[in-house]
Structure 1
């Protein structure tokens, strides 16, 4: 049937999930626009590593693999991302220092605002 054909085509881009029509704009804001946000994050991670002396090709690979592995951990463990973050942060360690730097720059608020802006734009279309 037509849904099966649609599902098989769309699965190339990720999961196919049927949601209530009133949630489509929110779904589009994260699933349709989210990849650009993630690409920007990967690029930023790589740029930071290059600033620290890592060659660009390795920095890009490590950043992309870090995002891929982290996404798999969220999906496969079923744990909340905040719990996984806490498990990686050692008291007084390097990771919590980086987390603080992200929080100082309003990282989560900016990510949320990007999704909300995309949602608001989608609703107007």
Structure 2
């Protein structure tokens, strides 16, 4: 089956190339695209308007997944243009929900998504690594420490998602008066943990806007 036949046969076309390459590819596929087809771009930094300029007024979406999609635990934002129907939205959401969670958001929020979700797995890995180093310093094996730290992070994340409680409420439930956890939280606050994370999110957002 040749390139044109593949495009004609597809209901949904995923444009999964780097941003610079995407802008070069769009004019080459413009004549193949049909009005009933849905196109989804995962190229960061290329707006719906820019994609429309390259291929015309078709059903176009921008998706921003993160790397945990590779194990079925991703988080993806989806932004669509005015040509999308409710059925089209449902179709694209179902595709991305097949490897995690997905949510329709306005395109202007994609920068925030990159900071809070797209890049944040790296922040979490760094946090896990720091937890492990602290435990290893006290004599725990690195292998055991990684298992305990990763499971603690996984469990805490599930508590937020499944209980619907505010993270502050969940934090307070762990912090007994005068206990070990509140001492640790006080140390994190003293060292600027919260501000450091907020600054990291903003740095990712600003870099994406460059």
TM-score, normalised relative to structure 1: 0.91
Of Structure 1 and Structure 2, the greater helix share is in 1
Displacement after TM superposition at 1:10 (Å)? 6.7
Displacement after TM superposition at 1:11 (Å)? 4.4
Query: Match for 2:106 among 2, 14, 20?
Result: 20
Displacement after TM superposition at 1:8 (Å)? 2.8
Moved over 3 A (4+): 3-7
Which residue is 1:8 aligned to? 95
Greater Rg by CA: 2
Distance in 2 (alpha carbons) for counterparts of 1:95 and 1:6? 39
| RMSD value, Cα | 1.6
Distance in 2 (alpha carbons) for counterparts of 1:73 and 1:29? 22
Structure 2: gaps (5+ residues): 1-10, 13-87
Residue 97 in structure 1 maps to residue 175 in structure 2:
no
Work out the number of aligned pairs and report it. Answer: 123
Which residue is 1:54 aligned to? 140
SS of the equivalent of 1:17 reads: strand
SS of the equivalent of 1:15 reads: strand
Query: Match for 2:168 among 82, 87, 111?
Result: 82
Distance in 2 (alpha carbons) for counterparts of 1:25 and 1:63? 29
TM-score, normalised relative to structure 2: 0.55
Distance in 1 (alpha carbons) for counterparts of 2:96 and 2:185? 38
Structure 1: gaps (5+ residues): none
SS of the equivalent of 2:140 reads: coil
Which residue is 1:122 aligned to? 208
Give a deviation string over 1:55-84, Cα, whole Å, max 9, x none. 000000000000000000001110111110
